[in-house]
Structure 1
Amino acid sequence: MLWLNQILQGVLLGGYYALIACGLSFMFGVMRVINLAHGSLAVLAAYALFVLADQYGLSPFVGLIFVLPAMALIGWLLQRLVLDRSARGGLLVPVLSTFGLSIVIDNLLFQRFGADTRSLAPFLDSLSYDSWAINDDIYVGQLAALTFATAVVLIGGLQLFMSRTPLGRAIRATAEDPDTVGLVGINARRVNAAATAIAMVTVGIAGAFLAMRATFDPYAGGPQLIFAFEAAVIGGAGSLWGTLIGGIVLGVAQSLGSQISPQGFLIAGHAVFLAVLFARLMTGGLGFRLRLRTASGH
């Protein structure tokens, strides 16, 4: 029964990893860009929510009303001012640009807030620790369940958006052939800016749950980026539902690993990631890359 409980907790943890990986996978699927500022931007959203809660008394859920549009604007500016221009220098320049941006964000947050850890848990009342008892050995945390449900709704909503709306179809078309879509009246630059804005909204949601479920500090973005990258690769970078599966696999591996050894939490997750990556490379790296090119929105 103990192992069953650990698997369940790992599945719920996977919901958070899917949240944090969703925007990273979405940007890669659309623009073939690995955003190394992804984790730092999530922490930025977490700090914004903390300021609204601490200084203005706003619930973190109410604070999202203000933070998510701000994150969308940041995404739009990120694409128009950084990614679009740096892409002219080749595939590596946008990655280096986002790496530099992450350093700037981390150090600005450190300068403003210091090294002390923060959390939104004190502003959630009992949600941060309440749970439902399945039996004497298995408990389901309410916040963990909410996180997992949010991941499913967000990924499902993005999937419907990509397949049912004109903008979603324009994003898919731009992802497939950004040079040709102009012939049918699609402005690739505007579509990519809109896609980045959407990705940053998902990052804002992930940052909110990061702050609600754990503590964070100005340099917490690095570990979150690693978890997001591992979940995205395990599930298939660019695949939205694959991101959820990858997050669950990573979460279950970490949860079971923690039962084997105190250090097993991180080691087991990294080991699964490396095993999946190695298996895909051994079965044909070219095929893997081609699947990534066609996985956007599917």
Structure 2
Amino acid sequence: MTNQIIQAILLGGYYALLACGLSFMFSVMKIINLAHGSLLVLAGYLLWFLAEHYHLSPFVGLLIVTPLMMLIGWALQAFLLEKSARGGELLPILTTFGLAIVIENLLFEHFGANTRSLAPYIGDLSWQSWELFSGVYVGKTSVYILVTAIIILGSLQLFMKKTPLGRQIRATAHDPDTAGIVGINPKKASAIAAALAMGTVAISGLALGVRGVFDAYSGGPQLLFAFEATIIGGVGSLWGTLIGGIILALAQTIGANIHPQGFLLGGHILFIIILLIRLVLAKGGVSHRMKAAFGGAK
């Protein structure tokens, strides 16, 4: 049982890393980015392409892919999401949903249906492990992913609280109109936040590739894991994202112990229970209850 708990915590670190960009973007721009999983897979394919055709280690390739994904995030916010946000709360969701479909089909057209993995390009690290104590082993990549998630979440937390730019982004998220009155450029702050979110997506793409395999349509399951971890931990709370990822992984582990096919079901059931509890406890009408459940109500 101890081994299962340890492995669940490590898996939770992976879920938290997946959810980091999704949670950060929603907390700043109040946009549920349904293209998050597809963009993550895009980053994985870019890293694979650099490794396969230019013989660059995925870790070196990350130095190229991360700025590129940040540029994509900036462009998406400046030319797509910012404009769609003017049409109400539903339009950005529909926009990102359509964007996900476009990305998935473009990836399928270019790379086909074959699965890819970054594990062959990282050498022995893909299978090496440490023995904690008798009979309990932890994979090095899983530990590194958990540590990376903690570092990224902690860095974003410090950035948002301690730096002038972070405070500008927080002010824009709270009240963009008032932020504009005091001299903050809300469009610029939101674009920078989107770029930071996409930077974390690039790292998540690396984690996806070294942990297993992916194809053009792998974005949906990754989005689901990220979304569930975000809601369980509480949208807008970066450290809550880490806790939510670990709780989700523990629920999946318990589900797998109850029934061989209960791994995914355990996480889904916990997510639904938490969502229903927040809907019941939230005050106000249906719209306000939904916002409170997803962390958007003030």
Q: 1:17 aligns with which of 15, 28, 32?
A: 15
* TM superposition outliers: structure 1 runs of 4+ over 4 Å: 285-288
Give the conservation status (yes or no) of the 8 Å contact 1:68–1:201: yes
In structure 1, the residue matched to 2:160 is 162
TM-score normalised over the length of structure 1: 0.95
Q: Distance in 2 between matches of 1:238 and 1:38?
A: 16
Say yes or no: does 1:51 pair with 2:32.
Answer: no
Q: Distance in 1 between matches of 2:227 and 2:170?
A: 22
TM superposition shift of 1:284: 2.0
Residue pairs, 1:116-155, within 5 angstroms: 116-155=114-153
Q: Distance in 1 between matches of 2:296 and 2:171?
A: 12
User: Residue 139 of structure 1 aligns to a residue in which SS?
Assistant: strand
User: Residue 180 of structure 1 aligns to a residue in which SS?
Assistant: helix
TM superposition shift of 1:292: 2.9
CA RMSD for the aligned pairs? 1.5
User: Residue 133 of structure 2 aligns to a residue in which SS?
Assistant: coil
Give the conservation status (yes or no) of the 8 Å contact 1:40–1:106: yes
Give the conservation status (yes or no) of the 8 Å contact 2:235–2:296: no
- Unmatched tracts of structure 1, length 5 or more: none
TM superposition shift of 1:294: 7.8
Q: Distance in 1 between matches of 2:181 and 2:49?
A: 46
Q: Distance in 2 between matches of 1:260 and 1:58?
A: 43
In structure 2, the residue matched to 1:267 is 265
In structure 1, the residue matched to 2:101 is 103
Q: 1:278 aligns with which of 276, 279, 282?
A: 276
Of the structure 1 ranges 252-261 and 229-238, higher mean CA displacement relative to structure 2 is found in 252-261
Of the structure 1 ranges 133-142 and 15-24, higher mean CA displacement relative to structure 2 is found in 133-142
User: Residue 214 of structure 2 aligns to a residue in which SS?
Assistant: coil
Residue pairs, 1:75-90, within 5 angstroms: 75-90=73-88
Letter paired with 2:292: R
- Unmatched tracts of structure 2, length 5 or more: none
Say yes or no: does 1:292 pair with 2:292.
Answer: no
TM superposition shift of 1:293: 4.4
Q: Distance in 2 between matches of 1:248 and 1:89?
A: 36
User: Residue 71 of structure 1 aligns to a residue in which SS?
Assistant: helix
Give the conservation status (yes or no) of the 8 Å contact 1:6–1:256: no
In structure 2, the residue matched to 1:191 is 189
TM superposition shift of 1:290: 9.0
Q: Distance in 2 between matches of 1:105 and 1:290?
A: 29
User: Residue 292 of structure 1 aligns to a residue in which SS?
Assistant: coil
Q: Distance in 1 between matches of 2:230 and 2:294?
A: 13
Letter paired with 1:281: L
Say yes or no: does 1:225 pair with 2:228.
Answer: no
Matched residue count: 293
Say yes or no: does 1:91 pair with 2:94.
Answer: no
Amino-acid identity (%): 58
Letter paired with 2:120: P
Give the conservation status (yes or no) of the 8 Å contact 2:235–2:294: no
Q: Distance in 1 between matches of 2:211 and 2:145?
A: 9
Give the conservation status (yes or no) of the 8 Å contact 1:7–1:256: no
TM superposition shift of 1:136: 2.9
Q: Distance in 1 between matches of 2:93 and 2:183?
A: 29
